[in-house]
Amino acid sequence: MKLLYYSPASYGGIADYAHEQANALVDLGVDVILLTTPKYQTGRGEKYQVIPILQEIALTQPLPHKVLKAVYSTTVILNNFTQLANFIEENNFQYVVLGSYVEYFAPLWSGRLKRLVKKGVVFAAIVHDPVRDFVVGPHWWHRWSIACGYSFLSQAFVHDSINLDTVRPMPQLQTTVIPHGIYHFPDANKSRQQMRISLDLPLDAKVMLAFGHIRDNKNLDLVIQAMVNFPDLYLVIAGKEQSSAQRPVAFYHELAKTLGVAERCRWKIGFIADTEIGNFFAATDITILTYSSIFHSASGVLNTAINYRQPCLASSGESSLRSVIQKYDLGIWVEPDDVDAIVEGIKKILENPPNPKWERYFQENSWYLNANIVLTSFKVNA
């Protein structure tokens, strides 16, 4: 079986997911070709073929005006879907997986994919973010875009049971729950003591880790506020700023300084190489996943923390994140967007740490199971 995997994400959780899932599909005997960008990280043991012909949507330098940014984004998205359609036709692919569901400008690009469906092409998408509440343009356009984004799909793969809002009936669309496997990053190459010394952390202190993209809905500001109640607790922030639309790191710096906790915060802002990820988890004790109530998806950071067997303090809306944390006791769950809840959660995790069911999680949430369900769904649609 030959399968085309479309993933314009160059790095981050979506790209890591594509890598793990594609490798698992190859292990099941599928010939996988990954369509991605030239910046996609390789050299991680890819068993699939990488075709880097897509355009990177993230700019090195932000454009000076919102209109220019919108024009650029639209152009990139349309160009990438044109490249996808051309590649399908030129290479006679029958099975295609979109690494993430996307509705942006779908009325402009979905028509050609719908015509390919009529020719026998089967499309599926991984719906990482099932609640599409980020509105681009007028509400009517947003709703139309969501419908068009689903209109050509036969399968929508989700990580928690949900009735997808497809705007209008989609009789051809089946929604299937798949597990989210862990991300297999390298083990730490520095000891806990070495890493703590390099970060100027006390060797015996409790240390929290906020890992990954820095964005507003992770409620980092509330975590910093909560630290006021724990004079011996430290925080490491390791990751990149997500975009200019989010609060900058300077905002959190200033907040920590104002609240008198800045000397207990450590900032490692920028891209964290795969070989360094393990060191940050080795140096810390608790992963912070305090998402806001608008977060309804799985968390790549959770599945990184699980790889290193680190418990978490978490919050979100109804989501796969909440389901698996509570099912497998992976950490302490608190109500979202509430400083007092975070304070109580920190007290609980320090005084009565959870007893995570690591092995059960690994067994029931493997990439093998994930890929096997995907492959079976394509065979059903064959």
Q: What does residue 26 show for φ and ψ, rounded to 5 degrees?
A: -60, -40
Question: What pLDDT score was predicted for residue 337?
Answer: 96
Q: pLDDT tens across 247-261, in order?
A: 999 999 999 999 999
Cβ atoms of residues 334 and 344 within 8 Å: yes
Kindly indicate the confidence band of residue 381, based on its pLDDT and cuts at 50, 70 and 90.
low
Among candidates 173, 170, 107, 112, which has minimal Cα distance to 140?
107
Is 80 exceeded by the pLDDT of residue 275?
Answer: yes
Residues of the chain with pLDDT > 90: what percent? 84
Is 80 exceeded by the pLDDT of residue 244?
Answer: no
Structure tokens at 25: 């599909």
Residues of the chain with pLDDT > 70: what percent? 97
Q: pLDDT tens across 31-67, in order?
A: 999 999 999 999 999 999 999 999 987 655 555 566 6
Inter-axis angle of helices 106-118 and 66-91, to 10 degrees? 10
Kindly indicate the confidence band of residue 73, based on its pLDDT and cuts at 50, 70 and 90.
confident
Mean pLDDT of 21-38: 97
Strand partners, 174: 155
Burial class (CB in 10 A: 0-12, 13-18, 19+), 380: exposed
Kindly indicate the confidence band of residue 136, based on its pLDDT and cuts at 50, 70 and 90.
confident
Question: What pLDDT score was predicted for residue 67?
Answer: 67
Question: What pLDDT score was predicted for residue 178?
Answer: 96
State the chain's mean pLDDT as an integer: 93
Structure tokens at 106: 């779908």
State how far the Cα of 93 lies from the Cα of 253, in Å rounded to an integer: 50
- The pTM for the full model equals 0.91
Question: What pLDDT score was predicted for residue 62?
Answer: 59
Question: What pLDDT score was predicted for residue 60?
Answer: 53
* DSSP 8-state code for residue 186: P
Structure tokens at 197: 């010394």
Give the lowest-confidence range in 39-43, 86-90, 132-136, 160-164. 132-136
Question: What pLDDT score was predicted for residue 90?
Answer: 97
Q: pLDDT tens across 197-243, in order?
A: 999 999 999 999 999 999 999 999 999 999 999 999 999 999 988 77
State how far the Cα of 271 lies from the Cα of 189, in Å rounded to an integer: 18
Kindly indicate the confidence band of residue 15, based on its pLDDT and cuts at 50, 70 and 90.
very high
Q: Is 213 left (phi over 0), alpha (psi -120 to 50) or beta?
A: beta
Q: How do beta strands 122-126 and 233-239 pair?
A: unpaired
Kindly indicate the confidence band of residue 340, based on its pLDDT and cuts at 50, 70 and 90.
very high
State how far the Cα of 246 lies from the Cα of 342, in Å rounded to an integer: 22
